[in-house]
Copies of this chain bind each other. A is one copy, B any other.
């Protein structure tokens, strides 16, 4: 087991992923309450809102208000998502932390559904954003490949296509004067399995051994934790996850399916295998329960119901 990393970082996606997926409106105060509670669990980066078209994602119409009302704790990164230059400009006007990046989608159909543009048009559109990052002296360190493991609309995505997509984001970054340090592979449509995680990471490392890999896995079909474990085995140290398993992707055509892998379940898995997360599991579980209160329905998280093994060990020792 010596090939597991000593420590991983888990970026929290619950507020952004979760609030955009819920059907009912969630009051701003509740969104803020959840974000502030997450900031007390040891998480270092919390995705809070999406600056997206409120006609397409009505539950994010309050993004500015949510962002403004968060009492931010020093040392924590409160991030946001945007999909185009207009969204980036909203993000830059707001109080949250804005991180440069360059994004590409594997399949054209998912690109059109998710960001409203073809793969190439979306990439070209980001040239303006990259210029903005450069002008403001903001670093651009990560490229993101969306839908990297398969597509609900186009089906199987070949490894060669993903390699070409990685090359494209590296090229775009370079063109703008940036050298990327890593690539995040995302799977909002829930196609990843341990096998495809191993295959794709292996292929990327063969070609770009110096690139770090991050994983954003969804548990749409129940394979999220096994795929995350496959990533751990390969030494991946950067994962996205979602408190209580909040979320889903509104444009993945898998309505009602589970979202991101669950933050506290994944943190539990890591800690039990000797991989540090820096997170306070008991506290995360409290916040997972708060997340259920906020959305008003049971969420998929397991350890909040099963209890931690630390607690079981303490009861046994008492």
Given contacts A223-B269, A312-B150, contact A302 B155 (CB under 8 A): no
Are B317 and A155 interface neighbours, CB within 8 A? yes
Which bracket fits the contact residues of A?
A: 35 or more
Instruction: Check B306 against A221 for contact (C-beta < 8 Å).
Output: yes
A109 closest partner in B (C-beta): B316
- How far does the Cβ of A259 sit from chain B's closest Cβ, in whole Å? 10
- Give the distance in Å from the alpha carbon of A153 to the alpha carbon of B189 in the complex: 40
Given A154-B316, A226-B269, A312-B152, do A306 and B195 touch, yes or no (CB 8 Å)? no
- Chain B proximity of A86: nearest CB distance (Å): 31
Copies in the complex: 2
Contact partners of A266 in chain B: CB under 8 A:
222
**A274 at the B interface (CB under 8 A):** yes
Answer whether residue A237 sits at the interface, using C-beta atoms and an 8 A cutoff: no
Nearest chain B CB to A74's CB is how many angstroms away?
32
Shortest distance in angstroms between A149's beta carbon and chain B's nearest beta carbon? 10
Q: A198-B1, A312-B150, A316-B151 are in contact. Are A305 and B226 (CB under 8 A)?
A: no
- In the complex, chain B residues whose CB is within 8 Å of the CB of A254: 305-307
Is A47 close to B, CB under 8 A? no
A225 in contact (CB, < 8 A): yes
4 residue pairs, one from A and one from B, having the closest CB atoms: A222-B265, A155-B316, A222-B302, A220-B306
